[in-house]
Structure 1
Amino acid sequence: MGKIKKSRKRNTFNYNKNKKKLKKKLRRKEKPHIECPQIRKAWDEHKTVKQNLQDMGLAPGTKGMLPIKPKKNTKVEPMETNVLKPYVIEEMEAEASVRGNDRTTCSTDMIEYVQHMVKEHNEDYKAMARDEKNYYQDTPKQIKRKVELYKRCHPEQYAAFIASLQSQKST
């Protein structure tokens, strides 16, 4: 009997695989990328995850964070925290306290729609719902939400629009 065909095949170098890329991919799996820049900056490669997080004053998980209520006779000792890098928490709190910009905007069609409705009916949302330009058959509450969205997204433009309406009515 002869040998199986597969066992006779000699190992050859595969030129189609990028060995450098594969090695980088493996290294990335071993050490995941830390998203938080404050933690990444304070991270020490020579320490374990638990040691690094303890130095920063962070907890690796929720387990053990809240003490279990002890029985009546035992005394509770406060947990010792040795925070060697308090600036990490301070920077994270500062970043969290900064309010982000509101990026919502209104389409030009919706702006025209809202301006028409306000021009014709002022604040009467029921009349707006019965308007013939209400193509999408919005309910009064939906129209009210659209008007409020327009007010919130473009406050200067809305104020100028209302001022122009006031000047037209007074004339």
Structure 2
Amino acid sequence: MGKVKKTRKNTFNYSVNRKKLKRRARKKEAPRIVCDEIRKAWDDSRSVATNLAEMGLAADPNRALLSSAHTETGTGQKQIRKPYVIQELKAAASVPSKQTMGISSDMVLYVRHMVENYGEDYKAMARDEQNYYQDTPKQIQRKVNLYRRHHPDEYQALLTSRT
């Protein structure tokens, strides 16, 4: 006959503090740094404040404002070991952003028609046949203002061609 396999029941270990273990694990996990420039220059062995100070960035904006007053008088010294981070951040900020919010071609045609025929009379625009969605004068005004912000030259040309 075969041996009877003895299985030990899983019991709860009361001597282990699960909350403390979870807190330690969370503390060990490094946060994901979204900014590429900062991530490349980050040193895991140093603290957050030290890392940011080496890059020339401020961990606490209130202290940074106070320390900038001291540096102007010459009492405080800043030691920036990684100045290339600030240069890369400035270069990334100076690149023009791609505008994600645009105006649909249908809305452009709608606004052009309204401005060509009515100028800036939004109540008359609300009564127009092409106002399929029954926009109120205020809604039409918002659409016209959006078009004016995105295409200022074309808007001026439409107004001048009407008169």
- Category of TM-score, reference length = shorter chain: 0.5 to 0.7
Q: CA deviation at 1:151?
A: 4.2
Letter in 2 for 1:31: A
RMSD: 3.6
Q: Which residue of 1 aligns with 2:45?
A: 46
Q: Which residue of 2 aligns with 1:15?
A: none
Q: Normalising by structure 2, what TM-score?
A: 0.61
Note the residue ranges of structure 1 that are not aligned, 5 or more in a row: 1-7, 12-25, 69-75
- Matched residue SS, 2:66: coil
Q: Which residue of 2 aligns with 1:9?
A: 9
Distance 1:10 1:149, change over 3 A: closer
Q: CA deviation at 1:53?
A: 1.5
Superposed, 1:3-152 pairs within 5 Å as: 9-10=9-10, 30-67=29-66, 78-134=75-131, 135-139=133-137, 141-152=138-149
Distance 1:36 1:130 in 2: 51
Letter in 2 for 1:116: H
- Matched residue SS, 1:34: coil
Distance 1:87 1:114 in 2: 48
Letter in 2 for 1:88: V
Letter in 1 for 2:92: E
Q: Percent identity?
A: 47
Distance 1:67 1:30, change over 3 A: same
Note the residue ranges of structure 2 that are not aligned, 5 or more in a row: 1-7, 12-24, 68-72
Q: Normalising by structure 1, what TM-score?
A: 0.58
- Matched residue SS, 2:61: coil
